[in-house]
Structure 1
Amino acid sequence: MSTGGVRKCILVCMILLSGICYKSYRPTGVQRMTVSLNGFYQNSFSSRSASNEKYKHSDRKSTHPPFVIRHVYPTGPESPPSLVTYGRDLPAYNDNYNIDTTTLLTSQITSPRKSKYEIIDLKNKYVTCDKIHVFIQARDDWNRPKQNGGDYFRARIYNDNLNASSSNNGDIIDHGNGTYSAYFTLPWTGLVNIEVTLMIPSEVIRIVKRIYHENPYRMVYEGKFQSGKKIKITKCHIHLDSSRLLCNFTDELSGQPWFCEKPKNLPCSSWIEHHGNPALTQKRTNELLLPGEEDAFQTKYIRRVLRRLQPLAIKVQSNEQLEGYHLCKAHLPFCRPRPSARNPGLSSAGGSRPTSSMTSGFYYRDVWHSNVCNARYLSTAAVQSCLRNKRLYFYGDSTLRQWYNFLLEYLPTLNNVTFYEHKSTYKVGPLTAEDPKNNFTSRFFHHGLPIRNTWMLVKNIQYEFNEIDKLRADKNTVVVLNMWAHFTGVTLDDYQSRLICVRNALTRLYQRSPETLVIIKSANTRSFAYTPTSTINFSDWYVMKLDAIMRDVMKDVPNIVIIDVWDMTNCHHTGSDVHPHDLVVREEIKMMLSYVCSSKRNGST
């Protein structure tokens, strides 16, 4: 055999051997599938794909503990490959990761001081329900028009004297050439002011995309392991970037993954507490920035209101000679579930909203007027009567806990009967309130991992889809869900796969109890600090993508309602906060009760 032939033979043997070694180190149950995420009915994990297919047609009783402990050990002298490498070639859900690595010059970043907006075809007279077109021109610090799109803007109209405000219709249109369009419907008489805010410039989003694509392990979570007086704390994550031995806490039935580094001299079964570590998250996120990128995260570029090319306070008259507000959408239906959650104005492609659709509502004197259904306030006595014999189950994060707490404070006969087993119970639950007079029960459970809160008991962390499977539901059962605030640290693949588990559980619930009402609270807008860590890990730009995936995955599930609180928080005068103001929560509760207490749903005429 020739020398060249020998070299080729050796090379082939080395490749085959390395492939065998690599395969032997991969933890079982987490092999990535190379399927396109646009076909989102396929899951990202092989074990999950098979089990979810089975769940679609089975009505199982879940008696398993929240986590099944498996040990993951390498079988050779080398360290196991980082989980971060698994499926790195998969693109994020419906996104473009053609990352431009051109050197970033801060003078080229979209400038909120130089960018301007104006009304197209400005008129001398407007009447209620007229539409206006706001045109945005992005410019850099040298006042040069931008030639590319990708900036993240938010917009609203408002009148502070009337405590009136509204978001734009549909999504702000990115024309791809540095210009954008926002459309509004004018629902009240009097002055209307326009506000456009540059939330994140395209250049910063480019950095965020690179980091998300290359580093799914950004948020730092830790597990506490204890046996007697011996305590060890190790790092945990879905995508754990570690060369150490791992404890595999993947949910056995769904395949939802979770891993922790195995502590020295302690078994995996000694895992007792979990928390998120913000200090280590900040340190890790800063380490992911390339030289010079931190300069783009300056306060002058992020969350800044744009200047106007012209005075944009227009006066609106009534076309019916009446002062006040006008519902521009005639014949609103009762607030009740549709055959599916596919609401008008929500497309099937990623949940984006066309500008032809109307915003989900508007505020006038701090009262939310829905454009979706005929929502109304109910007296305390009416709410108590409506909730008689009902059981409300809240599964979600702290923004949903606000709904639970609001009812607890609002209803005088509802009593807190929670057993506070741990200092974290008041945050993550389980929380229980009972009204013995009306036979009404309300319960709150935090959704399963990932969770960023302070130290909490592992035994109290339950996956929401498993809890839904345990419900003995009937027409008096109401399930309320939301999942977004703690998922900004996972990939869109992971979030979509998690929602598929929830969707399948809701489908099984519907098969067991077709009259059970399910309400999904959408994501809300939030504030975030002017730091790389906050902008990268908590920005609305990513939350908006999560919300779009939620709407897309859930759009065809029967008998559910999606309450759009994004518009409710985007435009309110108290500003955006991860925990909205009580004035906003009150209106969110009004929307929820309008569905729960619908006369059609309760059999009244």
Structure 2
Amino acid sequence: MGNNAKDQVQSQILGGETLRKRFPLKYGLIFLFFIFFVLWIMFYSVNFTDHITCKLAELKKKVPTTETLKRPTKAPKRTSVCSFRSVLPDDAREAEILKDYIAWPETPSVPANFSLKDTTHAPHSTFTILPHNGGRSWHVGDQLEVLIQINDFNGRPKKSGGDVLFARLHNPTVRAGVVGNVLDHHNGSYTAVFSLLWEGSAQVEVILIHSSEAVTVMERVNLEQPGRIFFRSLFRFGSVSEAAICNVCLNAPLEQLCNYTDIRTGEPWYCYKPKKLKCEHRITHSFGGYKLKPMPLENKLFKIGVNMKASIRSPGPSKITILPKLKALNEAVPAYASGRVMSRPVGYYYQGAWQPLDGTTVHQFNNAAVISQCLKGKVVHMFGDSTIRQWFEYLIAKTPNLKKFDMKTPPKTGPFIALDYTKNILLTFRCHGPPIRSPMLPVSQLHFVANELDSVDGSNNTVVVIGVWAHFSTFPVEVYIRRLLSIRRAVERLLTRAPGTLVIIRTANPKRLTPPESMTTDDYYFLQRDKILRAIFKEVNVKLLQAWEMTQAHYLAHNLHPPPPIIKNMIDVILSHICPQLGI
């Protein structure tokens, strides 16, 4: 080989070595960084992995009821799975608007060594009925304004707002009642405004539900202890059984969890992996109990009759007399023209019967014959919690020909079916999916409402009743927002394919409170979720059953499961929507 050939070969070899040296420096690092970035995104994005899992399931034409996400054995550190911190991307803006909508006025901080004497005290607080238009008499159609002054245990006026107050105007003689609108002035004073809707006597009632300091505590607990209630699932295979704790959010790495996130709705649910069995061996769901961290000092903020569910008194008159409506005056000064605060109740009670103010005429369905006639040829599907089950049980009890089938299902959760063959009536009930605090029930019966709605054909003879609220109070509001937005989309799909379907949605209601319950199922939490529900379904063609005001305005005590007279009024409203021409 000549010198020139040797030089060419040597040049090529040296050029190759130079290229190999330069390529990693210029391109290799970029390529490796890109690979690392893609892997990082895959490991850290639960939604991405869930999306891939869903697509694989679709390709296999399978929809498994449970699934454990497969993760690398050495996944990046992730200490918890808290899906409530991120709703679906398309819903993020609406979720933020809803959170702003229910934002509570600023409340005082509660340090560990706070003084109870500086906090709200109902016995020292007062309300005063304000004079009406220069002292003239009150008439039907007028507005009654009441000034509420909140004081502390020393009788000193509070300087900030944020207390939870309920106001009611009632007359026990004629069994009349209406809820007042309470305006927070953020300085320790409030105005309650009532619409005057009946003639005769009217008694003002103001109740302190919670002090502003208690609200501070409840807000903190709801964020810091979302797992203060927990659930259990039983896993079984052959003769081997194990139990595990489950919840929306569990404090553990992903590889230690079974992921039961619903594929269709994206609703999250997790259980700790059993030690011996597999995730697919889960067979039951049940309420596990409470894990509240003790708050010995803060518990002083939850004393019945002192600073929780406590009456506020008036140093002067607490009653007024309402005279007949003045037509000439009301033509010049329309109702709800106070100029400062307006009361716009959704309805009121008179003679014990609910009177809506939205133009709906409520008929009385007082016997089995008229109820059966209304439901003739109807299919009524009820989805929700035990407050919806009350309605199912009421209709069964009041219509003997509507026979409930014994399906050997759990008595508290169902599902239930009732039939009246002669009238061609079908009535069903199914509880909503987790988180539902229930006795043990098979996981096969844990169905999400949105999925159930997608299986409803719908028609002019179909009625859908939904009530989802009470079991979501212990979680951050994102959990409830995500659930309702999922249900709303399913309702809209149903009404698109079957516009004649009647959809009725039950709102929340206040309840009897005890100190331990204030950290789990409390009126303050219910009030916020009630507002969220109304806002989410405001523009949807559904009927709202106004359980909040129907419970608060009634003379009977608040109860999570309203007593029979209130249930009867609720059923009358429902049947009046179904059969506007029937009733008594």
TM-score, normalization: structure 2? 0.81
Q: Give the aligned partner of residue 81 of structure 1.
A: 79
Q: Give the aligned partner of residue 28 of structure 1.
A: 46
1:545 to 516, 528, 531: 528
Q: CA deviation at 1:598?
A: 2.1
Cα distance in 2, alignment partners of residues 376 and 141 from structure 1: 48
Secondary structure of 2:243 counterpart: strand
Q: Give the aligned partner of residue 490 of structure 1.
A: 475
Deviation string 1:531-575 (CA, Å, 9 cap, x unpaired) is 3xx1121111111111111111111123x1112111110021211
1:393 to 381, 386, 389: 381
Greater radius of gyration (CA): 2
Q: CA deviation at 1:191?
A: 2.0
Q: CA deviation at 1:389?
A: 1.2
Q: CA deviation at 1:260?
A: 0.4
Letter in 1 for 2:177: S
Q: Give the aligned partner of residue 561 of structure 1.
A: 543
Q: Give the aligned partner of residue 149 of structure 2.
A: 137
Cα distance in 1, alignment partners of residues 72 and 341 from structure 2: 54
Contact 1:73–1:245 (CA under 8 A) maintained in structure 2: no
Give yes or no for the alignment of 1:223 onto 2:233: yes
Q: In percent, how many aligned pairs have the same letter?
A: 28
Secondary structure of 1:29 counterpart: helix
Secondary structure of 1:93 counterpart: helix
Which structure has the higher relative contact order (CA within 8 Å, separation 6+)? 1
In structure 2, the gaps of 5 or more residues are: 1-33
Q: Give the aligned partner of residue 9 of structure 2.
A: none
Letter in 2 for 1:180: Y
Q: Give the aligned partner of residue 243 of structure 2.
A: 233
Secondary structure of 1:427 counterpart: coil
Contact 1:29–1:255 (CA under 8 A) maintained in structure 2: no
Alignment of 1:85-164 (within 5 A): 87=85, 93-94=99-100, 101=109, 103=111, 104-121=114-131, 123=135, 125-164=137-176
Q: Give the aligned partner of residue 192 of structure 1.
A: 202
Give yes or no for the alignment of 1:294 onto 2:282: no
Q: Give the aligned partner of residue 313 of structure 1.
A: 319
Q: CA deviation at 1:245?
A: 0.7
Deviation string 1:200-237 (CA, Å, 9 cap, x unpaired) is 10001011112222333322111111122322111111
Q: Give the aligned partner of residue 364 of structure 2.
A: 377
Q: Give the aligned partner of residue 434 of structure 1.
A: 419
Q: Give the aligned partner of residue 207 of structure 1.
A: 217
Letter in 2 for 1:463: F
Residues 101 and 140 (structure 1), Cα distance of their counterparts in 2 relative to 1, 3 Å cut: closer
Q: Give the aligned partner of residue 55 of structure 1.
A: none
Cα distance in 2, alignment partners of residues 485 and 163 from structure 1: 28
Contact 1:117–1:309 (CA under 8 A) maintained in structure 2: yes
Q: Give the aligned partner of residue 442 of structure 2.
A: 457
TM-score, normalization: structure 1? 0.79
Give yes or no for the alignment of 1:596 onto 2:581: no
Give yes or no for the alignment of 1:248 onto 2:259: yes
Q: Give the aligned partner of residue 403 of structure 1.
A: 391
Q: CA deviation at 1:80?
A: 3.9
Alignment of 1:159-174 (within 5 A): 159-168=171-180, 171-174=181-184
Cα distance in 1, alignment partners of residues 84 and 390 from structure 2: 37
Cα distance in 1, alignment partners of residues 228 and 70 from structure 2: 22
Cα distance in 2, alignment partners of residues 199 and 21 from structure 1: 51
Q: CA deviation at 1:162?
A: 2.5
Secondary structure of 1:231 counterpart: strand
Number of equivalent positions? 518
Letter in 1 for 2:576: S
Letter in 2 for 1:285: L
Deviation string 1:79-126 (CA, Å, 9 cap, x unpaired) is 741124984999782255988655232111111011111111154632
Structure with the largest fraction of helix: 2
Q: CA deviation at 1:357?
A: 4.8
Contact 1:66–1:461 (CA under 8 A) maintained in structure 2: no
Letter in 2 for 1:552: A
In structure 1, the gaps of 5 or more residues are: 1-15, 32-45, 52-59, 322-327, 330-344, 346-353
Contact 2:467–2:507 (CA under 8 A) maintained in structure 1: yes
Letter in 2 for 1:70: T
Deviation string 1:263-305 (CA, Å, 9 cap, x unpaired) is 1011111111111123xx1xx2225x4x732332333211101
